[in-house]
Amino acid sequence: MQILEGLFWKNRELVLALEMFPRRVQSVLDRFTTGALTEEAFVRDVNWAEVWGYPFQLYRPLLAFARDKGLGIIGLNAPREVVNKIARQGLSSLRPEERREIAEAFLTADPKHREILAQEFQRHRQEKIKDFEAFYEAQLAWDETMAETLVRYLGQATPATQVLVVIGRGHITDRVGMPPAALRRLPHTFKTVAPVPVDYPLRVLNPDLADFVWVTPPFQEIHPPRLGIQIKALPDNQGLEVLDVKAASPAEKAGFQVGDALVKIDGETVQTIEDLHRILSGRPGTSRFTLKRAGKEKTIDMVWAGHPEP
């Protein structure tokens, strides 16, 4: 956020590009930046819970700043389900319409990148991965698609345009991955910045981690909400029906029952599953749930295994 603000005050021709969004939702991003979508509608229409899943509130300041200042927002990535299919069955398994969702060309002539991914492959759970070649193709699908998307934008932008790319560190470490893939497509200048928590386990940093290292507060694990309930949306925006309550879950301990209708969380109305994710994503792990049970309203205070941990 500090980098985004700092760049903006020096150059108003700034654009925010994000790994979190597949490029297929670009029209939704465009409507959000023009104010045509509310935040709630935006979270729903980009299918945030499926395409990324981490708490929306962690990313909200970046998106809100870009919208308020009139900055463009670019969705860089390939669809998760397409990349997962590559990992399971290989690039050749894609149907033509799926193949069009990712980069047209894979520029794979980088032995260092392949070696790093071979080491990473050994650390992955491999039961859903066909083999190393499929894993390698899947990783390239992320990097090459994001590089292609970025370069297509840069190729049409003015010389003064700057783009702040927010991307996972695994896509830039060791000076491989997405940045050189973009550079091979279009000459341009860039710098990389990696946040490193002060309690980073390695006392000697890899000098190829990034061009700049930003030391941050101690690491804190982030988890999606885990209530222990199965739900579905009720018709006519009447809330969420509880279909199942997992044994020994926070919901069971708090007193949720099958057949309850969840209608509010901390006073905010809940009509869709997206509402549930959006509201809980900004909570510290304790919330007040308002239910309708047998026609009567009931409130339950629940400590749930969420993010950040209380």
Condensed to tens digits (0 to 9), the pLDDT of residues 186-234 reads 999 999 999 999 888 876 778 888 999 999 998 876 656 678 898 888 9
Lowest average pLDDT, out of 86-95, 98-107, 229-238, 287-296, goes to: 229-238
Of 261, 252, 269, nearest in space to 231 by CA: 261
Residue with tokens 């229409």: 45
Cα–Cα dist 178/200, whole Å? 24
Return the sign of the alpha-carbon dihedral for residues 222, 227, 233, 237. negative
Secondary structure class of 250 (helix, strand, coil): helix
Task: Write out the residue limits of the CATH 3.40.50.11550 domain(s) in the chain.
Answer: 2-79+140-188
pLDDT of residue 23 exceeding 80: yes
Residue with tokens 């896509």: 171
Task: Write out the residue limits of the CATH 2.30.42.10 domain(s) in the chain.
Answer: 229-303
Lowest average pLDDT, out of 101-105, 117-121, 190-194, 263-267, goes to: 117-121
Q: Domain 2-79+140-188 carries which CATH code?
A: 3.40.50.11550
- The domain defined by 229-303 folds into Pdz3 Domain (2.30.42)
- pTM over 0.85, yes/no: no
Of 140, 34, 15, nearest in space to 78 by CA: 140
